[in-house]
Amino acid sequence: MATISNCFISGTFNGLTFYVVKGRQLVRTKTSIDKQRFYNDPACANTVNG
What mean pLDDT do residues 24-49 have?
A: 81
Intra-chain end-to-end CA distance of the chain, in Å: 30
Q: Specify whether the CB–CB gap between 15 and 28 falls below 8 A.
A: no
pLDDT reported for residue 6: 65
pLDDT reported for residue 5: 64
Of all residues in the chain, what percent carry a pLDDT higher than 90?
0
- Asked whether residue 27 carries a pLDDT value surpassing 80, the answer given is yes
- Asked whether residue 49 carries a pLDDT value surpassing 80, the answer given is no
What mean pLDDT do residues 19-39 have?
A: 84
Residue 10 gets the label, from left (phi > 0), alpha (psi -120 to 50) or beta, of: beta
Q: What is the pLDDT of residues 3-16, one digit of tens each?
A: 666 666 788 888 88
